[in-house]
Amino acid sequence: MTMRKFRQAQWEEPIIFELSREDRVGFSVPALEPEIADAMDDIAGLVPNGMLREKPPGLPEVSELEVLRHFIHLSQMNYGVNSGRFYPLGSCTMKYNPVINEVLAGHPKVTGIHPDQDEASIQGLLAMLHELKQGYLEITGMDDASLQPAAGAHGEYLGVLLIRAYHADRGDLEGRTEIIIPDSAHGTNPATAIMAGFKTIEVPSNEDGGVDLEALASVAGPQTAGLMLTNPNTLGIFDSNISKIAGIVHDVGGLMYYDGANLNAIMGKCRPGDMGFDVVHVNLHKTFSTPHGGGGPGSGPVGVKSFLADYLPVPDIVESAGVYSLDWDRSKTVGKIHGYHGNVGPMLRAYTYMVTMGGEGLKEASELSVLNSNYIAAKLKDVKGYSLPFAEGKPRMHEAVLSAEKMSEETGVRALNVSKKLLDYGLHAPTTYFPLIVPEALMIEPTETEPVEVLDEFIEAMKEISDLAYSDPDDVLGAPRMTVVGKLDEARAAHPRTICLSWKTYCRMIP
Ligand SMILES: *Cc1c(COP(=O)(O)O)cnc(C)c1O
Find out whether 404 and 442 touch, Cβ atoms under 8 Å: yes
User: What mean pLDDT, rounded, does the chain reach?
Assistant: 91
Of 38-47, 74-83, 185-194, 277-286, the poorest mean pLDDT is in: 74-83
SS3 131: helix
Ligand 1 pocket: which of 91, 188, 281 to mutate (most atoms <8 Å of CB)?
A: 188
Ligand 1 pocket: which of 195, 234, 259 to mutate (most atoms <8 Å of CB)?
A: 259
pLDDT tier at 7, thresholds 50, 70, 90: very low
**Ligand 1 closest atom vs CA 153:** 9
| Span 248-267, average pLDDT | 97
pLDDT tier at 419, thresholds 50, 70, 90: very high
Q: What is the DSSP string of 24-73?
A: ------PPPPHHHHHHHHHHHHHSPTT-S-SS--------HHHHHHHHHH
Of 91-95, 200-204, 248-252, 419-423, the poorest mean pLDDT is in: 91-95
* pLDDT reported for residue 294: 59
| Span 140-160, average pLDDT | 97
Return the exposure string of 9-31: e unless at least 16 CB atoms fall within 10 Å of the residue's CB, then b.
eeeeeeebeebeeeeeeeeeeee
Find out whether 219 and 249 touch, Cβ atoms under 8 Å: no
Find out whether 418 and 477 touch, Cβ atoms under 8 Å: no
| Span 476-488, average pLDDT | 88
**Strand duo 431-432 + 316-320: pairing:** unpaired
Q: Which residue has the higher pLDDT, 93 or 160?
A: 160
Q: Which residue has the higher pLDDT, 487 or 503?
A: 487
From residue 239, alpha-carbon distances to 232, 233, 234 in Å are 6, 7, 11
Radius of gyration over every alpha carbon of the chain, rounded to an integer in angstroms:
26
| Span 436-456, average pLDDT | 95
Ligand 1 pocket: which of 233, 257, 283 to mutate (most atoms <8 Å of CB)?
A: 283
Of 37-46, 149-158, 278-287, the poorest mean pLDDT is in: 37-46
| Span 483-510, average pLDDT | 66
| Span 356-367, average pLDDT | 97
Q: Any residues with CB less than 8 A from the CB of 183 and at least 6 apart, and which?
A: 202, 203, 204, 205, 436, 437
| Span 424-446, average pLDDT | 95
Find out whether 336 and 242 touch, Cβ atoms under 8 Å: no
CA distance linking residue 282 with residue 140, whole number of Å? 9
Q: Which residue has the higher pLDDT, 170 or 41?
A: 170
- Identify the CA nearest to 427 among candidates 456, 395, 449: 456
* pLDDT reported for residue 6: 47
Could you tell me what percent of the chain has a pLDDT over 90? 77
* pLDDT reported for residue 490: 77
**Planar angle of CA 435, 78, 8, nearest 5 degrees:** 115
* pLDDT reported for residue 12: 59
How far is the centre of ligand 1, averaged over its atoms, from the C-alpha of 257 (Å)?
Answer: 14
* pLDDT reported for residue 135: 98
pLDDT tens-digit map of 316-336: 999 999 999 999 999 999 999
CA distance linking residue 204 with residue 210, whole number of Å? 9
Q: Which residue has the higher pLDDT, 490 or 351?
A: 351
SS3 263: helix
Could you tell me what percent of the chain has a pLDDT over 70? 93
Q: Is the pLDDT of residue 202 over 70?
A: yes
SS3 154: helix
- The stretches of 436-487 forming alpha helices (DSSP H) are 452-471, 473-477
Residues with CB under 6 A from ligand 1: 92, 151-153, 186, 188, 230, 234, 259, 261-262, 283, 298, 300
**Planar angle of CA 383, 388, 394, nearest 5 degrees:** 120
Q: How many C-beta atoms lie closer than 10 Å to residue 508's C-beta?
A: 9
* pLDDT reported for residue 457: 97
pLDDT tens-digit map of 211-238: 999 999 999 999 999 999 999 999 999 9
The domains found in the chain, sorted by start residue, are 16-76 (no CATH), 102-356 (3.40.640.10), 369-497 (3.90.1150.10)
Q: Is the pLDDT of residue 455 over 70?
A: yes
pTM as predicted: 0.89
CA distance linking residue 368 with residue 449, whole number of Å? 8
